[in-house]
């Protein structure tokens, strides 16, 4: 008769080496079935090789999922490890921490960990939305097993074994120089708290040629990079759709991990301000009816004869399915007249909105000037006067600042051009109702 203890030891050893060599199978065990061998390579490189490490990979490549699996595996091997998880905001960081907690609370995880440890529950002290300790932790330090923070959070007094910086560079860094500097400064703060024997990991996607990846390159001289063509995660069909749905500069940095040279970018850095609620605003709608086009809505007004406040929205939908949503936005932001570009539909959209708004405040507008010329003569000419709302829709703004002549999608800058034109050129008294 075989010794039960020896049988268990053999089972433990087999499972341990299996998941250590192929951690994506551990991901499959917990339901992350999209992980593959490349994610095993990422996890082993990040978590089980010495020194600071970094992986820069395209969007939708399951970087964060790999981080989650890596943390679970690290806890299985060393339940005393202390980790600081940093993401762009506290909310985003807490969401990842919550997912890890749910896995640790699951029956599947209990079954796996019980092969190596004796416990009733893995839930230890400080089991909250921003930190937790494992019940199997033997050593006690000021730092918890896992603590989640957002960029800018106080980290004084923390000295974790490992800092994981996941997607701390985001779309916000693309639009704001101030945000880029804030991110860079925070990364330098993180370097000051990691233990001498510890390490710091960086994962994410580039957004701007002057973003914090320039700092990370000095911390981790050899960043491993995986473009959309290196992973085989996204099909060619979807790649084509992604490319058609965004500017070439945004696709290049997020999916090809390259930056289009700054001199090819049309607009300078955007300027932001608080939204003035006392202004009677106008709106310009560029409707879409299918294909690769977006329905684009720009809203704005002139504040104290000093600057033009702007916010906007884009939808890759037929405008007829958006009427109520558009009207709600007009009401929310105190819009008197909405001007509707009518070249494509001979004014049908304007007539529909006119009826839905109670027979007021809608004007059709037929455009005859070349698109690039009108964007240059209205938006670029008035760029120093434009103040984008601090809470502007980021997809809309992305289309605007990524504009390059002759490249689609360009519906947002075209809509903005219409708004600026009617605000600055057309005589409002004879044309608009406020």
CATH T-level assignment (fold) for domain 4-250: Rossmann fold (3.40.50)
Task: Identify the pLDDT of residue 176.
Answer: 84
Class at the top of the CATH hierarchy for domain 272-431: alpha beta
Identify the pLDDT of residue 265.
67
The reported pLDDT for the residue numbered 12 is: 62
Give the closest residue to 186 by CA, choosing from 159, 216, 208. 216
Indicate whether this model's pTM tops 0.85: no
Q: What is the DSSP string of 352-387?
A: HHHHHTTS-SEEEE---S-HHHHHIIIIITTGGGEE
Q: Report which secondary-structure segment, H or E, holds 120.
A: none
Could you check whether 4-250 and 272-431 share the same CATH topology?
A: no
The kind and range of the H/E element at 300 are strand 295-303
pLDDT at 260: 64
Helices and strands counted in the chain (H then E): 18, 14
The SS3 of residue 203 is strand
Residue burial 298-322, b: 16+ Cβ < 10 Å; e: rest = bbbbbbeeebbbbbbbbbeeebeeb
> Where are the chain's structural domains?
4-250, 272-431
> What pLDDT is recorded for position 5?
33
pLDDT at 117: 93
User: Do residues 330 and 363 lie in contact, with contact meaning Cβ atoms separated by under 8 Å?
Assistant: no
**Rounded Cα distance, 344 and 332, in Å:** 27
Per-10-residue mean pLDDT, the chain, length 434: 41 70 93 96 95 96 97 95 97 97 96 92 93 92 93 91 96 87 96 89 93 93 91 91 81 86 70 92 93 92 95 94 96 94 82 87 86 91 94 88 83 95 67 38
Q: Per-residue b/e over 22-37, b at no fewer than 16 CB within 10 Å?
A: bbbebbebbebeebee
């Amino acid at each position: 008769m075989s010794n039960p203890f020896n049988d268990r030891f053999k089972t433990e050893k087999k499972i341990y080496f299996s998941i250590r060599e192929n951690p994506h199978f551990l991901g499959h065990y917990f339901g992350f079935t999209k992980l593959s061998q490349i994610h095993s390579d990422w996890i082993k490189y990040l978590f089980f090789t010495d020194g600071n490490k970094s992986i820069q990979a395209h969007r939708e490549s399951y970087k964060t999922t790999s981080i989650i699996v890596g943390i679970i595996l690290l806890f299985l091997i060393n339940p005393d490890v202390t980790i600081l998880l940093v993401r762009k905001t506290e909310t985003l960081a807490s969401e990842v921490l919550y997912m890890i907690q749910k896995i640790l609370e699951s029956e599947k995880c209990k079954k796996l960990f019980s092969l190596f440890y004796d416990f009733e529950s893995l839930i230890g002290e400080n089991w909250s939305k921003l930190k937790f300790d494992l019940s199997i932790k033997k050593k006690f330090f000021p730092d918890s097993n896992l603590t989640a923070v957002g960029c800018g959070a106080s980290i004084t007094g923390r000295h974790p074994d490992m800092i994981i910086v996941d997607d701390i560079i985001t779309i916000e860094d693309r639009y704001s120089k101030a945000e880029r500097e804030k991110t860079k400064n925070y990364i330098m703060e993180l370097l000051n708290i990691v233990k001498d024997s510890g390490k710091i990991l960086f994962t994410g996607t580039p957004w701007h040629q002057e973003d914090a990846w320039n700092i990370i390159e000095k911390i981790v001289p050899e960043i491993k990079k995986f473009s959309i063509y290196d992973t085989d995660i996204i099909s060619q069909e979807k790649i084509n759709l992604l490319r058609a749905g965004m500017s070439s500069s945004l696709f290049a940095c997020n999916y090809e991990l390259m930056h289009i040279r700054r001199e090819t970018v049309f607009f300078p850095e955007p300027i932001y301000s608080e939204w003035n609620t006392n202004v009677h605003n106008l709106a310009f709608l560029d409707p879409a009816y299918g294909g690769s086009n977006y329905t684009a809505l720009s809203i704005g007004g002139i504040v104290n004869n000093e600057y033009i406040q702007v916010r906007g929205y884009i939808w890759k939908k037929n405008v007829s399915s958006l009427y109520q949503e558009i009207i709600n936005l007009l009401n929310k932001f105190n819009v008197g007249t909405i001007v509707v570009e009518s070249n494509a539909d001979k004014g049908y959209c304007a007539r529909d909105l006119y009826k839905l708004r109670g027979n007021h405040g809608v004007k059709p507008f037929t455009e005859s000037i070349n698109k690039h010329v009108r964007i240059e003569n209205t938006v670029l000419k008035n760029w120093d006067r434009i103040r984008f709302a601090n809470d502007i829709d980021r997809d809309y703004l992305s289309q605007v600042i990524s504009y390059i002549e002759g490249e689609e999608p360009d519906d947002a800058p075209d809509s903005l051009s219409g708004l600026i034109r009617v605000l600055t050129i057309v005589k409002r008294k004879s044309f608009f109702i406020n």
